[in-house]
């Protein structure tokens, strides 16, 4: 591909490089049914373009999963690690984004009947790696995977919150409309939640 250095990812190439978004190059990993331990070093972004590997995974290392969920402050999940790992294992699909040394950068998971509906339950990227195109890569992968489903839905924070502002900008950039704009409405049963600040997911 002209202008793309050797080893770069070419969009849509079968079984190999997929696409380049933001500062990251994305490729598909082999399906991983046993967790590959993160090698321990704290991954710091060094400013160079790096590869990000997207992989479907079905088994999870509690330590690295907790680190990722803690990195975005989702303590509602990390208070009970066994439940978090069971939830991941029971999801319809979990896709991880890892760096070349196996470090977990982000993750997306779905609840789906694989026919009519896909609900994106979690999409998170370690804040050290925000704005590198990783969230986009994960979500684009899900959009492709569930293109046959009539409903492709998710919930996020209200636009009046700081998280909501960021997330709405992100989802709009990825082509989403709010429920209202789709002439829909979302409802949820009220649940008793600990005060914000002590636990906020």
Ligand X SMILES: CC(C)(COP(=O)(O)OP(=O)(O)OC[C@H]1O[C@@H](n2cnc3c(N)ncnc32)[C@H](O)[C@@H]1OP(=O)(O)O)[C@@H](O)C(=O)NCCC(=O)NCCS
| 130 near ligand X, rule: CB under 6 A | yes
* Interface with ligand X (CB under 6 A), residue from 66, 125, 142, 149: 125
Query: Using CB under 6 A, which of 135, 142, 146, 149 touches ligand X?
Result: 135
> Which stretch, 4-12, 87-95, 163-171, 185-193, contacts ligand X (CB under 6 A)?
163-171
CB–CB of 57/94 below 8 Å? yes
Residues 6+ apart with CB under 8 A from 90: none
Encode burial over 78-116: b for 16+ CB neighbours within 10 A, e otherwise: beeeeebbebbeebebbbbbbbeebbbbbbbbbbbeeee
Indicate the residue whose CB is closest to ligand X. 135
Quick one: which segment of 2-10, 27-35, 166-174, 184-192 binds ligand X (CB under 6 A)? 166-174
Residue 142 near ligand X by CB under 6 A: no
Residue 137: which of 15, 5, 22, 33 has the closest Cα?
Answer: 22
Using CB under 6 A, list all residues that contact ligand X.
22, 72, 123-125, 130-136, 154, 156, 163, 166-167, 169-170, 173
């Amino acid at each position: 591909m002209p202008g793309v250095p050797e080893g770069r990812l070419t969009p849509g190439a079968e079984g190999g490089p997929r696409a380049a978004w933001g500062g990251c190059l994305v490729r598909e990993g082999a399906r991983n049914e046993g967790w590959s331990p993160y090698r321990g070093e704290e991954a710091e972004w060094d400013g160079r373009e790096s590869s990000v590997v997207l992989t479907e995974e079905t088994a999870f290392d509690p330590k690295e999963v907790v680190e990722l969920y803690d990195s975005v402050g989702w303590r509602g999940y990390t208070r009970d690690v066994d439940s978090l790992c069971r939830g991941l294992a029971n999801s319809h699909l979990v896709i991880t984004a890892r760096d070349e040394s196996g470090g977990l950068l982000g993750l997306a998971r779905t609840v789906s009947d694989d026919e009519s509906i896909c609900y994106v339950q979690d999409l998170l990227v370690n804040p050290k790696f925000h704005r590198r195109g990783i969230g986009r890569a994960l979500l684009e992968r899900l959009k492709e995977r569930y293109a046959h489903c009539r409903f492709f839905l998710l919930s996020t924070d209200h636009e009046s919150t700081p998280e909501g502002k960021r997330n709405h900008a992100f989802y709009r950039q990825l082509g989403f409309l709010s429920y209202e704009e789709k002439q829909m409405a979302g409802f949820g049963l009220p649940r008793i939640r600990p005060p914000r600040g002590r636990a906020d997911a």
